[in-house]
Amino acid sequence: MARMALWRFAIVGLLAAFSFGCGGPNQYVIQGGQIASGADGNITVGSFDDGNSSVEIEVSHLAPAARVKEGTTIFVVWFKPEDGQPAKAGNLAYDDDERTGTLHATSANRSFEVIITAERDESASSPSDAVVFRQAVEVP
């Protein structure tokens, strides 16, 4: 009986070690910044076979943009590489009724900062100072 328990423990340990070695996606829990302190969410980053990074963002408890900062209408997601300028990844698909938002995007970088800002409109070419979330991420 003890030998069977030890065998099961060894098998589970090997499976766990193997799964960590495979490099599954990295997940980050994010909290809203000062202007959206009640908001929270998750960022999941992984890699594609072609070397690009997959980024999935899900946020909740996020007030509408106009309530986060007067004059804004939309949330924009930016990817900022360590030694580069922020690039627009897309607009957060925001649901006013549920106060949730999502974005699925791709990045050529493996280590970068995800920044979510409230913006006046879709034409923003750089992040405003209305930062809702900021999180450094790395692709496994």
Looking at the structure of the chain, the number of domains it has is 1
Domain membership of residue 16 (yes or no) is no
Query: Cβ(24)–Cβ(83) under 8 Å?
Result: no
Tens of pLDDT, residue by residue over 82-118, are 999 999 999 999 999 999 999 999 999 999 999 999 9
**Tens-binned pLDDT, residue by residue, of the chain (140 aa):** 444 444 444 443 433 333 333 568 999 999 998 999 999 999 999 998 888 999 999 999 999 999 999 999 999 999 999 999 999 999 999 999 999 999 999 999 999 999 999 999 999 999 999 999 999 999 98
Q: How far apart are the C-alpha atoms of 76 and 126, rounded to whole Å?
A: 10
Q: List the CATH number of the domain containing 111.
A: 2.60.40.200
Domain membership of residue 71 (yes or no) is yes
Domain membership of residue 7 (yes or no) is no
Question: Which residue range(s) make up the domain with 117?
Answer: 24-138
Q: Are strands 53-60 and 40-47 parallel, antiparallel or unpaired?
A: antiparallel
